[in-house]
A and B are shown apart, each in its own frame.
Chain A
Amino acid sequence: MTERLISDIGGLPAGEVPREEVPQLYWEKHMIAMFNVLWDKGVFNLDEFRRRVEETSPEDYKRSTFYGRRLDGMTDLLVEKGIIDRAELTARSDEILRAGTRDHVR
């Protein structure tokens, strides 16, 4: 049985494709910069990243966004490689959310 990857949507009904330009948010630029550094330093490769994103459940994949999938794929990969700790990441994210501030750079 041939597996269809969640990203392999060529030829499937898509409905209307939105054409408006969406401004890039600050965190998105920040995250892409981080992604590019990690990629350039060989911490992970692009194929690993794509594989990790494709392992997302179809529900989560569809609910997410271009940048959301990239952030989750990147962090999942760093957890998978033992570079960051999932519990530590969750604790830090919760801390920032509780503080409700964007001024969270230590």
Chain B
Amino acid sequence: MSADTAFAPGDRVTILDLGKPGHVRTPLYVRGKTGVIDHYCGQFENPEERAYGRIGRARIPLYRVRLTQRDLWPDYDGADGDTLVLEIYHHWLRPA
């Protein structure tokens, strides 16, 4: 399994809570939630490294993950099929 294709569209994934201090791009409200890989975006330098001036390091896979609004917000009063798609780096995901 190569790092850049670890997940494929349609795979169910759970977003981790790495508890990592400093600049991270995974909002609290999606941590621990399970969704589906919507799209593989490519490989990018890790913003958690770039935020401290460490540029030119390894590129890591980024995915768009689709979550249902109902899973995110227990009191959501929109349509059942409403979803949210957001970009999550590979190391914040595990197979669900």
Interface of B is mostly: loop
Interface of A is mostly: loop
Choose from B28, B48, B52, B55 the contact partner of A10 (Cβ within 8 Å).
Answer: B28
Is B23 touching A2 in the complex (CB atoms < 8 A)? no
Contacts A11-B73, A51-B52 given; indicate if A5 touches B24 (C-beta within 8 A).
yes
Per-residue interface assignment for chain B, residues 36 to 54, with 1 indicating a CB less than 8 Å from any chain A CB and 0 otherwise: 0000000000011011110
State how many angstroms separate the Cβ of B45 from the closest Cβ of chain A. Answer: 9
Q: How far is the CA of A51 from the CA of B20 in the complex (A)?
A: 13
Q: For residue B50, which residue of chain A has the nearest CB?
A: A47
Q: Interface residue tally of chain A, by bracket?
A: 10 to 19
A-B pairs under 8 A by CB, number: 41
Contacts A5-B24, A8-B27, A11-B73 given; indicate if A48 touches B17 (C-beta within 8 A).
no
Contacts A2-B17, A11-B29 given; indicate if A51 touches B51 (C-beta within 8 A).
yes
Q: For residue B21, which residue of chain A has the nearest CB?
A: A3
**Interface of B toward A, CB cutoff 8 Å:** 17, 19, 21-24, 27-31, 47-48, 50-53, 55, 72-73
